[in-house]
């Protein structure tokens, strides 16, 4: 019973880790993308549709990633190419993705597919205590590797330093000869690919079917998770497991008839985010603060 609960929490955390890691890179470059929910939904419906049509989970994952990147490119065209308001554009993207995914997926409601296989043989899952950690799929294990690689990229490479500089002071980065817009374009596309992969994980593993709005607010939780992690990749996994646990608590509470209102349990991730913001404000540490130029458009004078 405990192993099954742990496995459910881990699987619930995977899409949060993927989406939040991509958004963290985007925000580190100085761009806030509130369209995460819409990109995840586009990734989810594309992954399911292509997997259902071709029978290939690999093609489904690839379709989800590409769909997220294309949706992110639309966002980038407006906020980077036309310097529109990032908040308004992101919200519009979420509305667009929600509506379009529902339209595309209308014919797939009620259909089911075979989900991603576990990486290790299934009998490994019977091992006490560690069985849950050996019952995951390749995307789940890859999410941990991606977080580590993002940390290495941001804090151990020159390119990562340039990206962080674009988010802290884009004018300074530009004066040193770096293309702020190119850096932000790459970050936005990477964030879109991660959001698409995150969305694809939902119908391909977590719940092997398509239903309209199946992200159920996970995009917003991923956005909160970035703040919760103080824009540090190393904290993404811990935060995702915490938020995943709270999500499972909500479902378990409803199933067991807990007297605690489920709305209160649903609000806990956001309450935790507010608490972290308060602590960051009290500490006043630049290390844990948002990038200074976050949401501020860059317009080159050249």
Average pLDDT, the chain: 88
Tokens 């529109």 — which residue? 84
Structure tokens at 204: 């391909």
CA distance 60 to 45: 9
Residues 6+ apart with CB under 8 A from 206: 11, 12, 14, 15
CB 73 within 8 A of CB 196: no
- Going by pLDDT thresholds of 50, 70 and 90, the confidence category of residue 288 is low
- pLDDT tens digits along 28-75: 999 999 999 999 999 999 999 999 999 899 999 999 999 999 999 999
Q: Which of 225, 184, 208 is nearest to 77 (CA)?
A: 184
Q: What is the pLDDT of residue 283?
A: 63
Is pLDDT larger for residue 22 or for residue 126?
Answer: 22
Whole-number pLDDT of residue 256? 66
Highest mean pLDDT among 188-192, 260-264, 287-291: 188-192
User: In the prediction, which pLDDT does 254 show?
Assistant: 61
User: Is residue 77 pLDDT above 70, yes or no?
Assistant: yes
In the structure, what pLDDT confidence band is assigned to residue 301 with cuts at 50, 70 and 90?
low
Q: Is-contact 58 116, C-beta < 8 A?
A: no
> What stretches of the chain show up as alpha helix (H) in DSSP?
2-28, 36-54, 57-76, 86-104, 138-156, 158-168, 170-175, 180-201, 218-228, 236-256, 262-283
3-state SS class at 209 = strand
**Cα gap 23→194, rounded to integer Å:** 8
In the chain, what are the domain boundaries?
2-109+118-215
The three-state (H, E, C) secondary structure of 8-25, written as one string: HHHHHHHHHHHHHHHHHH
Q: Is the model's pLDDT at 122 over the cut of 90?
A: no
What is the band of 262 on the pLDDT scale with cuts at 50, 70, 90? low
Cα–Cα distances in angstroms (integers) from residue 263 to residues 8, 225, 242, 245, 269, in the given order: 21, 19, 17, 15, 11
What's the mean pLDDT in 164-170? 94
The whole-number pLDDT of residue 195 equals: 97
Question: What pLDDT, on a 0 to 100 scale, did the predictor assign at position 8?
Answer: 85
Distance CA 268, CA 150 (A): 27
Give the mean model confidence (pLDDT) for residues 254-266.
67
pTM: 0.91
């Amino acid at each position: 019973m405990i192993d099954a609960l742990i496995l459910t929490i881990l699987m619930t955390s995977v899409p949060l880790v993927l989406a939040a890691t991509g958004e963290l890179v985007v925000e580190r470059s100085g761009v806030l993308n509130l369209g995460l929910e819409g990109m995840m939904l586009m990734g989810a419906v594309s992954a399911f549709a292509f997997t259902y049509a071709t029978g290939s989970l690999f093609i489904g994952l690839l379709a989800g990633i590409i769909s997220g990147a294309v949706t992110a490119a639309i966002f980038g065209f407006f906020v980077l190419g036309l310097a529109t308001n990032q908040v308004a554009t992101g919200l519009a993207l979420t509305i667009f993705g929600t509506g379009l995914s529902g339209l595309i997926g209308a014919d797939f409601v009620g259909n089911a597919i075979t989900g991603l296989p576990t990486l290790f043989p299934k009998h490994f899952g019977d091992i006490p205590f560690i069985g849950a950690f050996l019952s995951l799929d390749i995307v789940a294990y890859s999410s941990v590797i991606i977080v580590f690689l993002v940390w290495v990229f941001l804090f151990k490479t020159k390119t990562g330093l340039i990206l962080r500089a674009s988010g802290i002071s884009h004018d300074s980065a530009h004066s040193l000869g770096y293309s702020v817009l190119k850096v932000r374009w790459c970050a936005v596309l990477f964030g879109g690919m991660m959001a698409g992969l995150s969305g694809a994980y939902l119908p391909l593993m977590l719940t092997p079917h398509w239903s309209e709005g199946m992200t159920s607010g996970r995009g917003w939780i991923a956005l909160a998770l970035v703040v919760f992690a103080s824009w540090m990749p190393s904290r993404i996994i811990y935060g995702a497991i915490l938020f995943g646990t709270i999500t499972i608590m909500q479902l378990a509470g409803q199933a067991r008839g807990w007297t605690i209102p489920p709305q209160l349990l649903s609000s806990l991730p956001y309450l935790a985010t507010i608490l972290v913001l308060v602590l960051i404000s009290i500490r006043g540490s630049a290390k844990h603060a948002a990038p200074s130029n976050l949401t501020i458009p860059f317009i080159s004078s050249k």
